[in-house]
Amino acid sequence: MPETRQSESLSFDLERARQISSDHIDELGDGLCLDVSRVLHTNPEICFKEFKAHDVLTSYLNEQGFTVTHHAYGLETSFEASTGDGGRQVVFCCEYDALPKIGHGCGHNLIAISSLGAFLGAARVLRELKIPGRLRILGTPAEEGGGGKAILLDRGAFKPAEDIAAAIMAHPMPQHSLDPSGSEYSGLAGLLFLASHKFHVEFNGKPSHAAGEPWNGVNALDAAVAAYNNIAILRQQIRPDERIHAIIEEGGLAPNVIPDYTRMHWGVRAPTIKRSELLFERVKKCIEAAALATGCTHKIIMSPTYLNLRANHTLCKTYVDEMAHLGSNVQLHQDKAYTASTDMGNVSHAVPSFHGTFNIPTSPDVAIHSRPFAEAANTDEAHEAAFKCAKGMAMLALRVLTENDVSDGARLDFEKPDVLS
């Protein structure tokens, strides 16, 4: 049922709602920490393989009295649960995949409990105060390279788009990464991420004995190395806010055999999808030149493209206000995009969206996507930050459901042209 504008904002006790939601999240805190976050952290699973995480999260929702759709939208490790009736709809996006050999170096165990806690806190308010509106929590696997949300978008998880007043989530970050002073802010509301093209490249050549008759071979490893070096040269001619990076996943089988097959994994990023596409075309020419120079054939295999993350001012401002009620000073917007990407960017181009950050304590030399950050994501302090964020997101959702100014403002912000396009 498409969202219809309410004739007036719903009248309810905002302070009472804050108290109910906060108390319920506090009440669930130990269970969310011990039975969900730390289980996920101890059992990290990479994209599309989050089987234990799926079972842990769905079981917890079942224990809280919710009916859960397992393997939602044809993705084996996705899930969905909802509550409420009539009125507007808000979707909480829940991430839980980890990084190969690093574990939860992006802190998705904390994303899982912050989204889950926000959903449960807001749901308790809906029930106790009898507020019309619908809340949904959507399990979104494979953010780390698999584009789970892009796939879910294609399969109808966010349709009809006019039916969704807001999609909400937040990401943990090291304290110093967005706030170099390390003291002024506890998080960021208006996070900006880059658009990203992700793809594999396969080079095919011809094997031969590397010592006996190398002239009869066509070296696919040379093609991969040439492509890498071509990009190293190209990097000198790209803008400071653009990124190109690659690894060689397969480089051959034995040093005395001319490799006839190699595979590379690439990422090309820029602040907008338009600029990312232009840079991708330049990268493709570097790859084509490597194939031509070595006599190899090549194939480019695309993964889901991540669109740049759009910051919705109304949703960000409302979240900042709610976090202030919790005693947290959250930065409203940042001046330029942070040089990372997320498939939540795709969602932000489909429906009004909020993707904030909350800081967790680390030493100044710790970055995301590292083992030290994975360790930091399992501390008591990190869990406290996630729960406080959950309280802010729960109230953001409730105000979207009940206040026309918030819902209408978020929709108007969403419909404005992307300032970065």
Question: Of how many residues is the chain composed?
Answer: 421
Q: What is the CATH number of the domain that holds 33?
A: 3.40.630.10
| pLDDT single digits (tens) 352-407 | 999 999 999 999 999 999 999 999 999 999 999 999 999 999 999 999 999 999 99
Closest C-alpha to 407, from 89, 191, 137: 89
Look at residue 69 in the predicted model and tell me its pLDDT.
98
- In the chain, the percentage of residues whose pLDDT exceeds 90 is 91
Domain boundary among 281, 306, 331: 306
Preceding peptide of 160 cis, ω within 30°: yes
3-state secondary structure of 241: coil
Same domain, yes or no: 320 and 406: yes
Residue 2 domain-assigned? no
Domain boundary among 306, 325, 350: 306
Place of tokens 């404005």: 416
Look at residue 335 in the predicted model and tell me its pLDDT.
74
Place of tokens 């990372």: 340
Can you list the residues of the chain whose pLDDT is less than 70? Answer: 1-9, 11, 179-183, 419-421
Same domain, yes or no: 302 and 317: no
| pLDDT single digits (tens) 149-194 | 999 999 999 999 999 999 999 999 998 887 666 568 999 999 999 9
Q: Say if residue 74 is exposed, middle or buried (CB neighbours under 10 Å; 0-12, 13-18, 19+).
A: exposed
- 406 Cβ contact list (under 8 Å, min separation 6): 314, 315, 318, 399, 400
Look at residue 142 in the predicted model and tell me its pLDDT.
97
Written as one string, the DSSP assignment of 140-169 is ---TTTT-HHHHHHHTTTT-SGGG-SEEEE
Same domain, yes or no: 233 and 325: no
Other beta carbons within 10 Å of 412: 13
CA distances from 155 to 150, 209, 400 (A): 9, 48, 25
Look at residue 145 in the predicted model and tell me its pLDDT.
87
Same domain, yes or no: 212 and 290: yes
Looking at residue 5, its amino acid is: R
Look at residue 302 in the predicted model and tell me its pLDDT.
96
Other beta carbons within 10 Å of 22: 21
Look at residue 271 in the predicted model and tell me its pLDDT.
94
Place of tokens 């967790």: 360
Which ranges constitute the DSSP H helices of 295-343? 313-325
Closest C-alpha to 365, from 357, 376, 355, 356: 376
Residue 8 domain-assigned? no
Same domain, yes or no: 227 and 314: no
Same domain, yes or no: 45 and 179: yes
Look at residue 1 in the predicted model and tell me its pLDDT.
42
SS3 content of the chain, % helix, strand, coil (to 5): 45, 20, 35
Determine the structural domain holding residue 105 and report its residue range.
14-193+308-415
- 132 Cβ contact list (under 8 Å, min separation 6): 10, 84, 85, 86, 87, 401
Look at residue 338 in the predicted model and tell me its pLDDT.
82
Same domain, yes or no: 167 and 38: yes
Same domain, yes or no: 318 and 328: yes
Residue 1 domain-assigned? no
